[in-house]
Amino acid sequence: MKIAVCVKQVPTREWQPRANEARTWVRDQDASFEMNEPDAYALEEALRLKERGGGEVVVCSAGPPRVGQVIREALARGADRAIHVEDDLLAAADPLVVAGALASAMRDERFDLVLTGLQSDDQGFAQTGVVLAERLGFAHATIIMEVQVTDAGLRVKRELEGGWFQWVEMPLPALLTIQSGINQLRYATLKGIMAAKKKEIRKVAPPAGLAGLQRVVSLYVPEKQKHTEMIGGTPAEAAKDLVKRLRDGAHIA
């Protein structure tokens, strides 16, 4: 099976975000970066599928040159080769633009299965995988907790709300967005790190005329505010006033 895994480079969780001068994105030059955690679980699931049934795992990523860091990490963990859609404008692009860039680079590869993380740790739209599936014309399912390969295609377990799960059968080619915790992550070995230096990373440019439908107007850190009001009167009066404030101000029935 020929499997693609889409990975994204995101700021580390320990880094305190700071907006750039235009207040449209974070200051990349001040940030430290890592592989998006849900994408790491998608990569691990792809490697396990390859170990069980053979095939090839190809890492696909879109972003500026610094994205090469997480691509090399993915290759060190066991991926066979990589495709990097390289452009500085993809660093903060919306899901429509990212999916369009990836689809253009991936279409001729004719993948059997594409895995992505459920969402990114930075923007958290959870839409890139879904849009990519539509661009590629693949069947797709989201929030996947288990993947089984069958003679007819795939049988996957979806996580629903309220502790419910759903099993879905689907044909190949397909795209799945993987939920964090689906498996136990592996780490790159020294042998894997050395081998990654020799693996192919094909760099391609995004298609011309790719434009998003949204833009960030302003980015800011939520302000911490405190506001305290004292309720006076007798206990009965205070209780009546409190109930009124909760019902009218906080809309608690």
pTM attached to this predicted model:
0.84
**8 A C-beta contact, residue 76 and residue 196:** yes
pLDDT digit string, tens, across residues 58-114: 999 999 999 999 999 999 999 999 999 999 989 888 999 999 999 999 999 999 999
Domains, the chain: 2-204 (3.40.50.620)
Residue 250 reports pLDDT greater than 70: no
15 vs 11: CA distance, rounded Å: 7
Give me the amino acid identity at 62.
A
pLDDT at 17: 77
40-63 in b/e form (b: 16+ CB < 10 A) is bbbbbbbbbbbeeeebbbbbbbbb
What is the residue-averaged pLDDT of the chain?
92
pLDDT at 246: 83
Give me the amino acid identity at 52.
R
pLDDT digit string, tens, across residues 113-145: 999 999 999 888 999 999 999 999 999 999 999
| Three-state secondary structure call for residue 44 | helix
> For the sheet containing 56-63, what is the strand order?
165-170, 154-159, 139-149, 174-178, 113-117, 2-6, 56-63, 81-86, 201-204
Measured at the CA of 163, the angle between CA 161 and CA 168, to 5 degrees, comes to 75
